[in-house]
């Protein structure tokens, strides 16, 4: 869905600016990439998997959008710096970083392996820090910029078998607030978004619990009883879509977000409040 699809934003709102979006080739990340590109930004899609960023780049380029892609594992701090420096050198600026790369799955805490814990924490939390730290000198030198990181709502109430992901995302929230205060003098705004249930293919796979866990498979419910689940568990009565999240990112990237920093925006139709 692009800017001419009932968008509240004018098509040239972000023209001339450059965004780096990790995990920008699928799911929520692709939705963010689509909207920002449609608003005039040059979007750099970064992903570990070529099949994600290649198809996304081709899809967006076919619409006339200005888009490029690059391979990036956010766990590799040296590679992160190489990518950021390359983007800044090629385009002469870097206005927005979207930390969207994540790796989540259900696993019982009592048997969670060190590698499983490490993989998620390194992608979700370390990756967010690596990328944010790498863009800092670029944004400082150009007089400011925006960082938007992806959190979640599960750690607000506790969620069984997601200790690794909830711990990492709680860290993202804390990191967002700390960097916002520390980097405000450089006019770098640092915020986060906490999406609720967005039934993309990747999220369905990552958040499908084991049958023996006893945890409801909410995405199976979405497939089989979408209207019933939304009515019973989401106060606004519907599931979210990538566009719902992308709209907030575009808002924060725009001049309307000039005086917003250190905020974590929950975008979930009220679901987490209804579950408390």
Q: Looking at residue 202, what is its pLDDT?
A: 52
Please list the ranges in the chain whose pLDDT falls under 50: 1-4, 203, 206-207, 222
Contacts of 259 (CB under 8 A, 6+ apart): none
Measured between alpha carbons, how far is 204 from 104 in angstroms, rounded to an integer? 11
Maximum distance among all alpha carbons in the chain?
53
Distance (Å, rounded) from C-alpha 196 to C-alpha 252? Answer: 18
pLDDT at 216: 61
CA-to-CA distance for 252 and 267, rounded, in angstroms?
14
Q: What is the pLDDT of residues 74-90, one digit of tens each?
A: 999 999 999 999 999 99
* Cα–Cα distance measured from residue 185 to residue 71, given in angstroms and rounded to the nearest whole number: 32
pLDDT of residue 209: 60
pLDDT at 101: 95
- Distance CA(103)–CA(29), nearest Å, equals 13
pTM here is: 0.89
Element (H, E) at 242: helix 242-253
Query: How far is residue 170's CA from residue 181's CA, in Å, rounded to a whole number?
Result: 17
**pLDDT score at 5:** 55
What pLDDT, on the 0 to 100 scale, is given for residue 225? Answer: 56
């Amino acid at each position: 869905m692009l800017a001419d699809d009932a968008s509240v934003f004018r098509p040239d709102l972000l023209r001339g600016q450059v965004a780096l979006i990790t995990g920008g080739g699928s799911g929520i990340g692709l939705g963010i990439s689509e909207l920002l590109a449609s608003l005039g930004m040059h979007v750099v899609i970064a992903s570990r998997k070529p099949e994600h960023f290649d198809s996304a780049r081709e899809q967006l380029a076919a619409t006339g959008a200005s888009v490029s892609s690059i391979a990036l594992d956010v766990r590799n701090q040296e590679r992160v710096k190489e990518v950021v420096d390359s983007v800044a050198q090629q385009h002469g600026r870097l206005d927005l970083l979207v930390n969207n790369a994540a790796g989540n799955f259900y696993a019982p805490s009592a048997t969670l392996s060190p590698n499983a814990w490490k993989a998620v924490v390194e992608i979700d939390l370390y990756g967010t820090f690596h990328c944010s730290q790498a863009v800092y000198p670029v944004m400082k030198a150009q007089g400011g910029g925006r960082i938007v990181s992806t959190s979640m709502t599960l750690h607000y109430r506790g969620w069984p078998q997601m200790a690794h992901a909830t711990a990492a995302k709680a860290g993202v929230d804390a990191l967002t607030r700390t960097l916002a205060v520390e980097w405000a003098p450089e006019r770098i705004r640092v915020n986060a978004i906490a999406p609720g249930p967005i039934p993309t293919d990747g999220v369905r796979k990552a958040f499908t619990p084991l049958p023996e866990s006893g945890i409801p498979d909410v995405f199976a419910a979405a497939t089989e009883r979408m209207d019933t689940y939304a009515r019973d568990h989401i106060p606004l009565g519907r599931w979210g879509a990538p566009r719902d999240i992308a709209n907030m990112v575009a808002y924060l990237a725009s001049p309307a977000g000039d005086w917003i920093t250190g905020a974590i925006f929950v975008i979930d139709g009220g679901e987490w409040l209804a579950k408390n």
